[in-house]
Structure 1
């Protein structure tokens, strides 16, 4: 292959930051790696996305234990992707929360996704042997749910399709703090391999209407001002719109997937090429955008085999 497959060449250690956003609200970030949110109430802790393996999750737990000895009562899955959720067992939480549409995706493609992402992100799956299996929710909800951690209500909401069909956010209304999952990125490339691109901008509009004061994106630094929050949501929305519009143009012109990929890269590299995991994401992103622009509403299932076949076809021509 002309380029190192996905993130297999990204093996350097990242610097971890454990940032306080407000009372009982924290973000575990690492230079563009998947973020984990932590919310602490009087009665216990909620962890939002768990890291990819229990081994990696213990690094989060070490940070949590520097500020509280309260038990982790809840895990919130913002969506089903393996790199976000397979570390759940380490926390020994009472309950795991997911939207019904996320639960459906775990049933349909959870193991395929596990195998696929394990091959794409070797560094993030450090200690993969510690994974006991897929992470299954114990609380499945539709629409909205409020969880009280003890004088700290957390509003959990599925605002619409976007990064996946079942994206879920956490919102602290009194402090206007938003945990957005991969619906919002900051300086990092949105992964759209399982996305609903036509729906995603409207979902972002719903988040923008909250006017968050602070925001934890799926990847990138925790955002500490309203202006930064708006910038991240606007940047993510611009990327999605540019990607899908260019894919539609490729379809209308009768171009092949490879021709569309080359044209989209030419158009988008100058604006987005320095974002984290850009070269990793773009083959997957364009493949899904090309499918959706051609009328395929439900994303194809990514498998470890399909990943590599697609990568070779687009990068070798």
Structure 2
């Protein structure tokens, strides 16, 4: 097993709202590890589009409060979820009742049947408490793309064309400003997670994201990216996904389980990233895909805890 960094937790008060371009906001929550996501917003002609909420009521309230102060109380007319995971969706119920919520068709179904919002399994330390949130599903289901207008500002909701981080990913792309809200198709300096999507699909999605030629990326986790950092982070993703594919191929050839394959390999350049135990989860995904079967979520989480030698750490 790889050594991991000492336990540390970052409270919700560390989150900050920035404005990379006028009327384009990024809510970045350090340190971006389990359940600690980024969100954002686009403002145009006195109305607001929110991009993702947060895992807990407290964190979502902080985000929406900071945004409200920044935009002078402009109404949140629309919101979008980039995918189904709770760190991006559980706070949906704290949006105004009049907000029209968008999400991919498969994302909507995934959140509809998600049991974790009702009580998180004890795989993390501490076990997250979501607070006063309720399941709120998208009002509008998107298939491959949807164009939104926030005032005169155009926002394209785009699906990568297949499973990647999950089966129902969307990005929010501002073509005129070259700003990309990538959701969890991008983890900046944090171990990527694809166990509910596809390793090969996530690798292909990197090329798709790059083809948009973004000047600014607000990732699902980690700092806002611009300039040379965009190419660097995308190339790190490519190397990581190829690494996972290689480990899976060698492990299957040796008759190893995902956990055994993960224990046998050194993470090398990826060892210092937060949440390194995701190697086990990502291998479970690739093994399942190669065998043509469904992923066993409970077994994957259990193996990740075993590899780590203790419960996974979170600041939620």
Q: TM-score higher than 0.5 here?
A: yes
The residue number in structure 2 matching 1:82 is 86
| 2:62 equivalent among 59, 62, 70 | 59
Matched, 1:170 2:186: no
Structure 1: state its 5+ residue gaps. none
From the superposition, tell whether residues 221 and 177 of structure 1 become closer, same or farther in structure 2 (CA, over 3 Å). same
Structure 2 Cα separation of the partners of residues 139 and 24 of structure 1: 24
Gaps of 5+ in 2: 310-316
Q: Distance in 2 between matches of 1:238 and 1:117?
A: 31
Residue aligning to 1:310: 303
Contact kept? 2:28, 2:38, Cα under 8 Å: yes
Change (3 A) 1:112 1:3: farther
Q: Which structure 2 residues correspond to residues 255-294 of structure 1 after superposition, within 5 A?
A: 255-264=256-265, 266=266, 268=267, 270-279=268-277, 281-294=278-291
Question: Could you tell me whether the CA contact under 8 Å between 1:21 and 1:224 is conserved in 2?
Answer: no
Counterpart contact for 2:194–2:202, Cα < 8 Å: no
* Superposed CA offset, 1:169-192 (max 9, x none): 000111100000000111011112
Structure 2 equivalent of residue 136 of structure 1 = 137
Report the CA distance between 1:209 and its aligned residue: 0.4
Q: TM-score, normalised by structure 2?
A: 0.86
Number of the residue aligned with 1:212:
214
Tell me the secondary structure at the aligned position of residue 191 of structure 2. coil
Q: What CA distance in whole angstroms lies between the structure 1 residues aligned with 2:305 and 2:216?
A: 40
Answering whether residue 38 of structure 2 is matched by residue 35 of structure 1, we say: yes
How far has the Cα of 1:218 moved from its partner? 0.9
Compared with structure 1, are the counterparts of its residues 165 and 65 closer, same or farther at alpha carbon in structure 2 (3 Å cutoff)?
A: same
Distance apart, 1:78 and its partner CA: 0.6
1:111 to 94, 99, 115: 115
Equivalent residue, structure 1, for 2:50: 47
Q: Summarize the Cα distance change of 1:142–1:312 in structure 2 as closer, same or farther, 3 Å threshold.
A: closer
Moved more, 215-224 or 65-74: 65-74
Partner deviation per Cα, 1:214-264 (whole Å, 9 max, x = no partner): 001111101132x22222222122211211221121102222333211123
Change (3 A) 1:70 1:315: closer
Q: In 2 relative to 1, CA 63–129 (structure 1 residues): closer, same or farther, beyond 3 Å?
A: closer
Greater strand proportion:
2
Specify the SS of the correspondent of 2:226: coil
- Superposition deviation, residue 205 in structure 1: 0.9
> Contact 1:29–1:220 (CA<8 Å) still a contact in 2?
yes
State yes or no: 1:100 paired with 2:105: yes
Aligned length: 300
